[in-house]
Amino acid sequence: MTDHKDGRKTPAAETRTPVITGGKPVDPRRRELLAGIAAATGAFALGGCGGDGADDLQGGGGGGGSGQGGESALPPPEESGIDHIVVVMMENRSFDHYLGWVPGADGLQEGLAFPDKNGVMRETFHLASHEEYGYQGCGKEDPGHGYGDGRVHLNEGAMDGWLQTVDDANVDNDFFPIGYYTADDVPFFKGVVENYTICDRYFTGILGSTFPNRVYMHSGATDRTSNGFAPDDFGAPVGPTTIPTVWDRLAEVGASRAYYFQDLPVTAFWGQAYLDITRPYSSFLLEAAAGLLPSVSFVEPFFGAAVGESPYGISTDDHPQADIRNGQAFLNQVYNALRNGPNWDRTLLVINYDEWGGFYDHVVPPVLPVSEHEASLGNDGRLGFRVPCAIIGPRARRGHVSHTTFSPSSILKMIEWRFGTGPVSLRSEYSNNMATALDFSGDPHTEAPAFNVPTGPFGMECGTGFPQLIDVIGPPTTVLPSTTSGASSERHPSMDAHAADWQKLYEIAKGYGFPV
């Protein structure tokens, strides 16, 4: 038996029963080999790998110098051909789980196996073709993705604890965390892979849940390690967040900025500080079409905060139990708005995810410094597990996989470089500039192919089984009776806890005067 710090005991590999969900036996020796590969690959992420650059964490490509590992030198920022940077942050998916199929990327999907709480080895499987999961996973748990869950999943670098946070009552019937999707399940990303850049070393800001990571996207730091709020949650800030943001730095140099939301503005964490730059998503679509995009835009999906990202599965943000096909349609709408607008030739779109959502991955995330205040909250500086990240635009490399280590601070560092701002946080010094993954070797590639992405709407409300008519620029409109078959039309109680988190932020936003 292997004893873990949290009291769990895992049977030694040679004593585990070789049984998996698909019915095929797993050779325990193969599992040990895979574990060794995972450990080696995690170390490799810190030391460097091939492709467009070394995985150097020491702030490569900051100014006009050369990029990492043979990348082209960065031009003077004003000659970069980039005047508009648009950032979209989706929800709760890991790299292997979502993009492990990408050719040339460091991804693993079919044939892996991980122990459940009883020591039974469970094999990874294709979610979309499984009748109990499909594109939503209705009736399954919201996989554990809190600060403590992340350390269990990490398991001191073994990267095998994904099923150890499943409720005891569901050990034998909930394997959502080790399922995966393939190219045809995510047609938007299939188009990106063929035409733009995917990053296979993009880690989130903190190995923790949604709210800390969304604060990281704005600040390169966080003031919380959970989704809780004071005084109910120890360590959560009392009152509005006060840590500086990219919005402050842009204002200091007179660069235009806007935050676009659908149903819930994350900028409400800072009270009324950014009320003046917070706009509805419909404004983004109009401004993109009119050529009026600001220098920097953050664009949010529909979270389903008031009506049910979870537990009902009604959102476009990819959070379990949302139907991921609606997320693909939303991303495609953003892409179409940009490529069809007059600003396209000088625009860069970056899509990332806030955190791993409890889904498996095989690469050990590195550790970066944090501020004294952040350390006092208990954050050990561990970056979050890899998540999907795409770089799209005329300056993006075509059909490319970037192996350079990036994080939200890399996006912020690119913004700092392009618009001449001061550092957003101390992480800037230790982070690679995402601009080093771009192609400045010649003229920009302004052609922008359309992707074959169905518009939907897809899926059902998990509590009733009724289909939802989801408008991707607003909340669901109508619930209709249905005879829809497939995944369970139930919801797991774990989803209700997450809904409560969003509801609290909704109330805060409303209190500060945001138009929610």
What are the tens digits of pLDDT across the range 29-62? 334 333 333 333 333 333 333 344 434 444 545 5
Q: Does residue 162 lie within any of the structural domains?
A: yes
CA distance 220 to 493: 32
Positive or negative CA dihedral for 196, 201, 204, 205?
negative
Q: Does residue 31 lie within any of the structural domains?
A: no
Give the pLDDT confidence score for residue 484 in this predicted structure. 33
CA distance 219 to 512: 20
**CA atoms within 13 Å, Cβ hemisphere of 97:** 27
Element (H, E) at 211: helix 210-219
Q: Does residue 92 lie within any of the structural domains?
A: yes
CA-wise closest residue to 224 among 13, 438, 504, 516: 504
Helix (H, G, I), strand (E, B) or coil at 278: strand
Give the number of residues written for the chain.
Answer: 516
CA distance 31 to 34: 5
Phi, psi of 149 (to 5 degrees): -60, -40
CA distance 63 to 66: 8
Cα distances (angstroms) measured from residue 262 to each of 219, 246, 259, 515: 21, 21, 10, 10
Residue found by looking up tokens 């989801």 in the block? 470
Q: Considering the chain, what percentage of its residues have pLDDT values greater than 90?
A: 68
State the CB neighbour count (10 A cutoff) for residue 275: 17
User: Which runs of E-coded beta strand occur in 429-500?
Assistant: none
Helix (H, G, I), strand (E, B) or coil at 429: helix
Give the pLDDT confidence score for residue 235 in this predicted structure. 59
Given a cut of 90, whether residue 202 has pLDDT beyond it is yes
Tokens at 465, concatenated = 């089984």
Give the pLDDT confidence score for residue 19 in this predicted structure. 37
Cα distances (angstroms) measured from residue 505 to each of 78, 206, 223, 269, 498: 38, 20, 15, 8, 11
Q: What is the pLDDT of residues 330-352, one digit of tens each?
A: 999 999 999 999 999 999 999 99
Give the pLDDT confidence score for residue 314 in this predicted structure. 77
Average pLDDT over residues 271-291: 97
Q: Does residue 64 lie within any of the structural domains?
A: yes
Q: Does residue 27 lie within any of the structural domains?
A: no
CA-wise closest residue to 224 among 513, 501, 506, 509: 501
CA distance 157 to 35: 10
Q: Which amino acid is at 222?
A: T
Number of domains in the chain: 1
What is the pTM (predicted TM-score) of this model? Answer: 0.85
Give the pLDDT confidence score for residue 462 in this predicted structure. 82
Under 8 Å between Cβ of 296 and 284: no
Pairing state between β 197-199 and 400-402: parallel
Element (H, E) at 9: strand 9-10
Element (H, E) at 247: helix 246-252
Given a cut of 60, whether residue 23 has pLDDT beyond it is no
Region of residue 359 (phi > 0: left; psi between -120 and 50: alpha; otherwise: beta): beta
CA distance 178 to 199: 21
Residue found by looking up tokens 């959070």 in the block? 319
Tokens at 174, concatenated = 């909930």
Give the pLDDT confidence score for residue 389 in this predicted structure. 98
Under 8 Å between Cβ of 149 and 359: no
Give the pLDDT confidence score for residue 466 in this predicted structure. 77
User: Which runs of E-coded beta strand occur in 171-305?
Assistant: 179-180, 197-199, 257-261, 278-280, 296-299
> Could you give the dihedral angle defined by the CA atoms of residues 109, 110, 112 and 116, in that order, rounded to the nearest 10 degrees?
90
Cα distances (angstroms) measured from residue 342 to each of 20, 260, 289, 455: 53, 19, 7, 23
Q: What is the pLDDT of residues 120-169, one digit of tens each?
A: 999 999 999 999 999 999 889 999 999 999 999 999 999 999 999 999 99
Given a cut of 50, whether residue 479 has pLDDT beyond it is no
Least confident of 182-196, 199-213, 227-241, 423-437: 227-241
Average pLDDT over residues 247-275: 96
Q: Does residue 267 lie within any of the structural domains?
A: yes
Domain that holds residue 70: 40-169+184-332+341-382+394-511
State the CB neighbour count (10 A cutoff) for residue 485: 9
Q: Does residue 44 lie within any of the structural domains?
A: yes
Q: Does residue 240 lie within any of the structural domains?
A: yes
Q: What is the pLDDT of residues 380-396, one digit of tens each?
A: 999 999 999 999 999 99
Under 8 Å between Cβ of 160 and 361: no
Give the pLDDT confidence score for residue 341 in this predicted structure. 98
Indicate which CATH number applies to the domain containing 136.
3.40.720.10
Tokens at 350, concatenated = 């970056």
CA-wise closest residue to 262 among 39, 473, 484, 477: 473
